[in-house]
Amino acid sequence: MACTSLRRDGEEVLGVVHGGPDVPWLSGIPLLHPWANRLGGFAYAGVVLDPASPDLYLEEHGLPLHGLRSSVEAWEVLVSEHARLVAGRDFGARAAFPYPHRLEVAASLSASALTLETTLTAGARPVPVCFGHHPFFALKGAPRAEWEIALPVDERLVVDERLVPTGERVPAGALDGPLGTRVFDDGFTVGRGPFVLAGGGRRIEVRFETGYPYAQVYAPASADVICFEPMTAPADALRTGAVTVAPGASYTARFSVAVTGE
């Protein structure tokens, strides 16, 4: 389940990382499920993951990353209208995530914004909530060094040498301004206001409207993209303790992407 294109006045604002591994989350706005970003190991809550499983993505340190490959398959379109699309899927108990649940994603388009609302409904047992999205943005009208960003974040999540959170948090500090040569692969707690990318006569605002208290900001040196990733939980939350949805209950998270002129 992913948004592959978002245009304003014919101009594409979603980016792509070329030359990466064979994964579905290097462009557009992909869903990351049942966890976003890294796990610090191959076991959590009595579950043991198989490092050789073809259903896992492994990152540069050999750790599980961005959920399961099978999570993007077998979705059913429930509503298909001019400016609204809803898709859903039932997930049974799997060895890597033994929590039956249903997931639905609703995409709504207005004159200036795309809104994505994701609802997880638990089955017969509590379900940990760790999903997220990975929007890739790019501005064609200005070089990367001239992009202006605003990051409404409060605390930075301190990580170890594998980029796994240690549990420590520190003030994020002043991060707004030109992207310049800065690179990011950092987790934060979310504050007030929109995440902003502006330049070349274009302005993108990403609002974490509900259900996303964490963000991962990703801006690699190897590609002219930046990601403001809405996350329901910090990286490695399956191993350190995640919010759960009670049997039969639902958790809804929503974010929007507005694209305008500066």
> Structural domain boundaries of the chain?
2-261
The CATH architecture annotation of domain 2-261 reads Distorted Sandwich (2.70)
- The string of pLDDT tens digits covering residues 59-105 is 889 999 999 999 988 999 999 999 999 999 999 999 999 999 999 99
Per the CB < 8 A criterion, the answer to whether 198 and 148 are in contact is yes
For residues 250 and 63, give the distance between their C-alpha atoms in angstroms, rounded to a whole number.
29
Dig out the tokens for 10 from the structure: 């014919």
**pLDDT band of 112, cuts 50, 70, 90:** confident
Q: Once rounded to an integer, what is the mean pLDDT over residues 161-176? A: 96
End-to-end CA separation in angstroms for the chain: 31
